[in-house]
Amino acid sequence: MNEYIKASREAEFALNNGEYYRCTEIIKPFIDVFSASSKEGISIRMILITAYSGINKKEEALKICKQLTKSRSSLVRENAKSLIEILNAPDLKTPENWNIQFENNVKDMNNNYEYKPTLKKSNKEKKFIKISDNPTGETKPFKKGFAILTILLLIILMFLLSGCVKIQNNIDLRDADYINMDLEIESKYLGKIPWQVNFEKSIIENFNHSIINFDNDKFLIKEKGLSLIESKNKLNKIIEIASRTTPINLKNIEIDHSEKDYFFVKKHFFSIILNLIELDNYDNVDISINITSPSKPTVLKQIKNINILGKKIKWDLIAGQMNQIEFTYWDLNKLFFSFIITFFIVLSAYFLKISRYELGSNLPKLPS
């Protein structure tokens, strides 16, 4: 990894200095090491596309762009398609009548100068710049390297401003009265952007008793032993902080729970609604909720973004829509089982006492 970081810096330095051949020689060996969906792989391929375009190797640049069209990120795929259109665009020649032409009548003083004393100054032909009504056209464009570098900088700015993040919330429902919950936010491509920093700062200030871990890319908050009402309040508090630290006004999450007793077991019913209509223009944010139950759950209305694996539900939320899930699961009736166990312990002690009384102690009896 240290070799890649060093090579990446040298390649960027060479790219900025216009040393495109040297840039490709430095960074190309790492293209097979990192996939097109990783943060490093995307950075390597963007540098190579710029360098190849600077040395007019469009075929190699197009080949790398096609690799990026298979990335898991929709934003990277769209940017790769845009670059392919740019690289495939034909080169346009500037018409000659778009530029001002000057007549060059200056003669070389050492070779072509001839002294003619018989000519008078008044007979010399005066030369002027040709002026016409024809349009002069556009100013001479910048070199290709500058244009490609500008495109690369715009793409990087798009990553910075869009805030490509992955948000994952895990909820453990194996005990409805003792719920464990954790929320993880991860930057997918670059470091944390300003709204993430402000969000994390507000979370730390408002969740003093929670377990909080964070580094340059991730932020994790854990809560243990919560009731269902406390879990709902904590989630809504996080949503309220997100609405306050970002320009997006999110709605509170709605969680409804009911249960039915069947002596030995209980059947739990859950309905969770999360309104993400305000995220209509933020389709590059991946949000998911993972739910763990004590038994295999049953989803009442199966949709494509809900997957069940054993006792876990993976719910991928869709930005710009109203997301809702309804599911049930079975759980042992702990109160009933505690009563049964206590009853058998008391009954066993009673029978043991009667048996010992009937057997006697085998000690000699006192005379009556």
DSSP codes joined into one string, 83-117 = HHHHHHSPPPPPPGGGS------PPPTTTT----T
Tell me the pTM: 0.49
Q: Which domains does the chain have, with CATH numbers?
A: 2-89+143-161 (1.25.40), 166-334 (no CATH)
Would you tell me how many other CB atoms lie within 10 Å of the CB of residue 78? 14
DSSP 172: E
In this predicted structure, which of 7-11, 128-132, 180-184, 295-299 has the lowest mean pLDDT? Answer: 128-132
**Using CA atoms, how far apart are residues 152 and 163, in angstroms rounded to an integer?**
17
**Using CA atoms, how far apart are residues 270 and 313, in angstroms rounded to an integer?**
12
Would you tell me how many other CB atoms lie within 10 Å of the CB of residue 182? 18
| Spacing of C-alpha 135 from chain mean position | 49
Strand partners, 166: 186, 286
Tens of pLDDT, residue by residue over 311-365, are 999 998 888 888 999 999 988 766 666 777 888 888 888 888 787 666 655 555 5
Tens of pLDDT, residue by residue over 107-152, are 444 444 444 444 444 455 555 455 555 555 455 555 556 566 666 6
Mean pLDDT of 31-44: 81
Buried b (16+ CB within 10 A) or exposed e, 245-261: bbeeebebbebeeeeee
- Answer with the residue of higher pLDDT: 148 or 16: 16
Query: Which residues touch 190 (CB under 8 Å, ≥6 apart)?
Result: 39, 159, 160, 164
Mean pLDDT of the chain: 75
Q: Tell me the pLDDT band of 242, cut-offs 50, 70 and 90.
A: confident
pLDDT at 208 over 70: yes
Ranked by mean pLDDT, the top range of 179-188, 209-218, 291-300 is: 291-300
Strand order in the sheet with 265-275: 254-262, 265-275, 322-332, 298-299
| Spacing of C-alpha 14 from chain mean position | 29
**To 10 degrees, the CA torsion angle through 118, 122, 128, 131?**
-130
Residue 215 token pair? 């580094």
- Closest-CA residue to 314 (of 333, 278, 288, 340): 288
DSSP 193: -
Strand partners, 267: 260, 330
Residue 45 token pair? 């391929």
Per-residue pLDDT, 193: 66
- Closest-CA residue to 55 (of 140, 148, 156, 153): 148
- Answer yes or no: are the C-beta atoms of 227 and 220 closer than 8 Å: no
pLDDT at 244 over 80: yes
